Structure 1
Amino acid sequence: MLSRIPVVARCLSLVALWAAGSAHAIELPLPAPGEDIVGQEQVIEAQYEDTFADLGTRYGLGYLEMIAANPGVDAWLPGAGTKITLPTRFILPPGPREGIVINLAEYRLYYYPKGKSTVYTYALGIGREGWGSPIGNTRVVAKTPNPTWTPPASIRAEHAAEGDILPTVVPAGPDNPLGPFKFGLGMSGYLIHGSNKKFGIGMRTSHGCFRMYNNNVLELADLAPVGTPVRIINEPYKFGVSGGKVWLEAHTPLDEEGNPSVVDKHTAVINTLLKHEGLAGSMRTNWDTVRDVVAAEEGMPTEIAVPVASVPNAAPEQQVVW
């Protein structure tokens, strides 16, 4: 079986960039042409008081991606000395590397500054059950610091049914659900914004908008101008090339309503691989590893294939058996 990438324990330079307590994204250099992976996984030791919510805030990671990367670890009481994997290595999303790219299945935003060979990445909260976030192409049409919030009638009715009467306008400040900044999108009714609750980033908690940690949205506000293109996708399976090998990153598929999907995962992952012209035919794929990655949904890049030329007496696989 092909092994997963070796975990880099306490990679000090990266830890410094993902500064403790800051939740700032890191600026990563884009890989060379033909390469698709950025960042480096880390392993840290939990302190007694640590929770996944705290660690996510500290390292700019979402709650569900922390859960996925650490199966079997208690999210609320990992315990002092417990080894915690920080999933800070990413296969870049498919498609053009420009502007803002949001991958719903990943609960993550990527930003490619124009004219720079770098990428920023941020954890996101997305639409919850019945309020799925949209898919499509749009742009940043407005940037608003210290926004007020005018709850739509549908949200006011939802809260009223639970005995919570919302005001018609919520002023800017620490109680504002939009946090300290919002980006208006060309899709009517949808925003990228901060939050007055740090818990929920990296989860399905919003009414369709995209929530960020407050200092993340302020950082992005300094980087992304009005007019920045925004591409929203829903890709649970990301394939990429690094070091001449093919890697797979698997997340839980989401349906159009924002719920975990019951799609045929095996068919979905094969169809996604086939979209990457040349990968399937030129590589020797370890399908046992592919099955394991798809089943685990840990959200971390795993090597699944090597060039046929590197395997003695090997030929490209013509048939997939699950």
Structure 2
Amino acid sequence: MVGEVRVVTPTPDNTLLDLMRHFDLGYTEITSANPGMSVWTPGPGARVVIPTRFILPPKPWEGIVVNIPQRRMFYFPPAKKGKAAEVITYPIGIAREGWSTPLGLSRVTGKFRDPGWFVPKTIRDEHRAEEGVEMPAYFPPGPDNPMGMLAMRTAWPGIFLHATNRPWGVGMRVSHGCMHLYPEDAAELFAQLKIGTPFRVINQPVLVGDAEGKTWMSSFDPVAEYPGEPTPAEWAERLLDQRTLDAALAGQPFDPERKQRLLDAPTALPVALNDSSVDPGAVLSAMPAEAYDLPPYGAGANDASLPAPKQPPADEAAANP
């Protein structure tokens, strides 16, 4: 597992969209961690849970691993001699309903700055049928290009990991098979990624990991476009089979109700299964909230351009030259 969960209290002019982008989360992640909270007006004194703790995908931990139901990718850079292994993770937008990304192992075959996009006929036909207007056959490079300003091609025909001209869609089902990144995440990854990097895509709606002497589980909404795949309940049974026995023998049995609640109401928050004396909600309620007073990104941030560096409020900047 990597990262930590935190709680913040935003200023009234900040939305969940501002928080998700600042903390590098996707839409589904922040809304599932804060059920019932308004995306646009969290409310005065709202305690917003920031679910920035993640269970790693199954090994091998090499190159890029994308977990479609999690709507998140993990990059495992080549190990450096004498240094600890590293993992970098970003939220992604995934294929919309009726479309899918191939599963399995591929590789990065190209990197493109300021790409143009020749729109496939299938996508133009769909757009005409749904919107009643023609879609351009070609989008030139620029801030309105759906591929954004940076694109990384896989060996699968037409499948890219790329930036986007609609960053607020990261974490949603928005593409026709490609994977969308925030422009700033695409820039960071683009600078590091080498041609030939392994690129693995999995479809695993349940993840299990061990930390702090406990077993943790995360559950995500399954993606219907992969028929014949195990259900979340089947994944949980498969992943927890031996762990359930080991936990019972160690005197720390799992709480079956907690596991079932996770399967019934998927959330981005990892939950400890064998610690029934501590309720996850109580842990979050007791966590002190940090003030979040950075300015909102603004409507102009929803294009392919990199956002301007965020500055503290004027009075704070003056007090801390």
| TM-score band, normalised by shorter chain | 0.7 to 0.9
3-state SS in 1 of match to 2:146 = coil
What is the 5 A alignment of 1:206-245? 206-245=175-214
Per the TM alignment, residue 136 of structure 1 is displaced from its structure 2 partner at its CA by 1.1
The C-alpha deviation readout for 1:91-134, integer Å capped at 9, x for no partner, is 10112111000011110010011014111110100001111222
Matched, 1:81 2:45: yes
CA distance in 2, matches of 1:160, 1:270: 44
Matched, 1:125 2:59: no
CA distance in 2, matches of 1:257, 1:53: 29
1:263 and 1:233, CA in 2 relative to 1: closer, same or farther beyond 3 A?
closer
Alignment check: 8 A CA contact 2:222 2:231 kept:
no
Matched, 1:97 2:61: yes
Count of aligned pairs: 265
Corresponding residue for 1:22?
Answer: none
Q: Which runs of 5+ in 1 are unaligned?
A: 1-36, 307-322
Instruction: State the superposition RMSD in angstroms.
Output: 1.9
Alignment check: 8 A CA contact 2:216 2:271 kept:
yes
Identity of matched residues, % = 37
> Residue type matched to 1:63 in 2?
Y
Corresponding residue for 1:139?
Answer: 107
Corresponding residue for 2:225?
Answer: 256
The C-alpha deviation readout for 1:10-48, integer Å capped at 9, x for no partner, is xxxxxxxxxxxxxxxxxxxxxxxxxxx110001000221
Per the TM alignment, residue 252 of structure 1 is displaced from its structure 2 partner at its CA by 1.3
CA distance in 1, matches of 2:2, 2:155: 29
CA distance in 1, matches of 2:155, 2:4: 34
1:175 and 1:300, CA in 2 relative to 1: closer, same or farther beyond 3 A?
same
> Residue type matched to 2:138 in 1?
V
Alignment check: 8 A CA contact 1:112 1:120 kept:
yes
Correspondent of 1:285 among 230, 254, 270? 254
The C-alpha deviation readout for 1:45-75, integer Å capped at 9, x for no partner, is 0221222222111211101111100012111
3-state SS in 2 of match to 1:118 = coil
Matched, 1:273 2:237: no
CA distance in 1, matches of 2:135, 2:220: 35
Alignment check: 8 A CA contact 1:126 1:203 kept:
yes
Q: Which runs of 5+ in 2 are unaligned?
A: 248-252, 276-321
Per the TM alignment, residue 286 of structure 1 is displaced from its structure 2 partner at its CA by 1.7
Corresponding residue for 1:51?
Answer: 15
TM-score between both structures, scaled by the size of structure 1: 0.78
Matched, 1:188 2:188: no
CA distance in 2, matches of 1:103, 1:75: 25
CA distance in 1, matches of 2:259, 2:63: 31
Per the TM alignment, residue 305 of structure 1 is displaced from its structure 2 partner at its CA by 2.6
3-state SS in 1 of match to 2:139 = coil
Corresponding residue for 1:203?
Answer: 172
1:168 and 1:220, CA in 2 relative to 1: closer, same or farther beyond 3 A?
same
CA distance in 1, matches of 2:229, 2:12: 37
CA distance in 2, matches of 1:160, 1:241: 49
Moved over 6 A (4+): none
Matched, 1:40 2:9: no
TM-score between both structures, scaled by the size of structure 2: 0.78
Corresponding residue for 1:30?
Answer: none
